[in-house]
Chain A
C-alpha cells in the first residue's frame, strides 16, 4: 500500500502512469479482496490485502508483489474483470494499493459502477490490443498517458483509442462522478417522484 494515499477529488482529466498487467478472464471480486477482509467498518487498510490469496499462492511472483510494479497506477486486465460480489471493497483495495485507472477487455457491471463512483476510470480495448500490451516484454516499463478528454492513451511508441461510456467520461471531466451532490440538486424532483409512486400510498405497513 502506498503510504501517501489520498482519494481522488473533483475533475479527473489526465492519468499518467506505469502499467501493471494481470492476465486472466473472469477475475472475481472475491479474488481481488477475499471476504475475510470485509470485516471492517472503513476501507483504510484494504490496500495491503488486495489479491491476498492469489499472492500467497504465487509466493512473491504475483504482479502486485513484483518490485518493478510497485509504482504502477494503470491496471491492464482481460475480460469480465470484477465479476461476482458487489463489494466496493474490491476497487477500494485496488485504489489504496495505488491503482488510478483500469484498462480491460470488459468489466462486470457492478464493479464498473463502483469504480466510477470512487473515481477510477475504466476503459475498454479490444482483446488484441490488451494482449499486445500484456505481451509487451518491456511492459514493466510501459508508461501510458491517458487523456480523458480525447479518450486516448499514449506511450512512447503506442497510441490507443480507448472506449469509455460517454456518461462516465463526462462525469470524470466535470467532477460529477462523486454523485451525491448532483443527485441532491434535484431534491424537488425526488419529492415529486416519491409522491407520484402508486405503491407509496398502499404501503402503509412498511414501518
Chain B
C-alpha cells in the first residue's frame, strides 16, 4: 500500500469518515459541472427534496453540445438548446457560478478551470467527465464521476470511494524535437495497456515530466483515463505556481503567500512508497499515431501495424476487431495513410500552446485538396489569445476552418461529425468505434503538430519533415 505520496496526503486530508461498508467518504474541494452529466443529478436532488450544500464549491460551464459554427441562441438543435437551458436554470436556481457562452470564460471544462485559477494543488476535484484527471497536472487529486455521484457531491460535497493504489511512471531523459506530450502519453498507454490503470492513480514524474510546460502536463494527466487510471497527477513545482499566479480565481495578496507556503509543502516524499513503479525512456519516443480502436493501439510514425503474432494473447481479440474496423492490414505502414478530416481541439490538445505549434507547421502552407480541416479552440480565452497572436489568420490562410470553442468532434455531440468511414487525423483522446459521430468513422489519434502535417499532405506524415 502506498505511503507518503502526494496522493496519500491529499486523500487523507479530505477523508471525512470511513463508511460502514468500508469505503471512504471524501470531501470534494472543487466540483465542476457541465450540461451533459448534471441535469439528472439536479433532478434527483429535487426528487429527494435536497439542496446544494456548498454552492460556492461548484462551478459550471457548457461545452459538450455547443455548436462551433453558429452559437446564436436558440441553438438550431432543439435538444442541445434544451440542455443548455436546463443548465442555466439549475445554476440560477441553486446559485452556482456559470461561465456561459460569451462570458469570455466559457470553454471545455478542463481547459477553463485551470485558466481561471480554480484548479490548484492539494485539492480534490470531481466532475461528471472522465477527463477530469487533467487537473492532476497541478498536483490536485482529480477524477471523473457519474451522474449519481454528481448528485452526491451537490447534496453533500462528498462521495463514497475506495482509495486507489499509486503507480509512479518515471519518465527519464527528455522528448526529442517534433515529439510532444501527446506522443509520450500515447506511448505510456501502449506500454502499460488500456486497463493497467484500473484501481490506480498514476503519478507522472522524472526529468521528462519536469521539463514539460503546464499545458503539456495537462495533456499527460488528461489521458490517464485512457490507460485505465481515473486519476493522474504530477507533483507541483515553480511552473505550477507561476501558471496559477494572477489568474481570475487565484488567491491574491496575502492569501497568495499563504497558498504558496502550503502548496510548496505538497509533494510525494523522497522515500514515499508506491504500489508499483515503471520507467519510460522519453528520448526513444517518436511521433506516435494510433492505428486501432483503443488508445493503446499506437505505433511510431515509422513503424508498421503489428502482426497478430507479435501481440500478447490478451491483445489479439481487440487487434483483430481493429484490423477489420479500420480496414488496415497487419504489417502495413501507418505513414502515408490518406486522411479525410483533420481536427485540432479537445481537452487533450485544444490549448494555446497546441494551436501555436500547429500554426507554426501550417504557416505559409496549404491544406491538401479535399481534406476538411478545422480547429476548435478549447475555450473563449484560448480563442481570444490565438486571435491576438494572429494564429486564426494562419489557420484560415492554410485552409483550416476556424471555429468557436467546445468539445466538438472529440465526441461529436454537436453537428461536427465524420461521415461514413472517413478517416480522421485527430488531436483528441479516443479512437473508439463510432466515437467521432459516424458508426463506421475511423480515428487516428496524434499530436496537434502531426494533425497539421497530415492536413498539409492529405495523409499521415512525419511532422519532423516540416519543422527540422
Footprint of B on A, CB under 8 Å?
24-26, 28, 30-31, 34-36, 38-43, 53-54, 56-57, 78-80, 83-89, 91, 106-110, 113-114, 117-118, 165-168, 170-171, 174, 176, 179-180, 182-184, 186-187, 189-190, 193-194, 197-199, 201-207
Contacts and interface: CB of A to CB of B under 8 A. Distances in A.
Given A183-B155, A183-B156, A206-B249, 11 more contacts: A30-B432, A30-B434, A31-B432, A35-B411, A84-B430, A187-B156, A194-B27, A202-B256, A202-B262, A203-B249, A205-B251
A42 B147 CA distance: 11
Contact of B50 (A87, A91, A180): A180
B160 interface: yes
Given A30-B432, A109-B228, A86 B144 contact: yes
Nearest to B435: A30
B118 A206 contact: yes
Given A110-B130, A110-B146, A198 B36 contact: no
Contacts of B152: 117, 179-180, 183
A138 B146 CA distance: 36
Nearest to B153: A183
Contacts of A205: 117, 248-252
Contact of A184 (B155, B230, B413): B155
Interface of B: 13-14, 16-17, 19-23, 25, 27, 29, 36-37, 39-40, 43, 48, 50, 53-54, 56-57, 59, 64-65, 77, 79-80, 82-83, 86, 97, 117-118, 120, 122-123, 128-130, 132, 143-149, 151-152, 155-162, 194-195, 197-199, 225, 228-230, 248-252, 255-256, 258-259, 262, 293-294, 314, 317-318, 321, 411-413, 430, 432-435, 437, 439-440
Contacts of B155: 180, 183-184
Given A26-B294, A183-B160, A202 B251 contact: yes
Contacts, number: 237
Contact of B37 (A84, A86, A180, A199): A86
A35 B29 CA distance: 29
A197 B411 CA distance: 36
Given A108-B198, A206-B56, A194 B157 contact: yes
Given A36-B412, A88-B148, A170 B22 contact: yes
Contacts of B80: 39
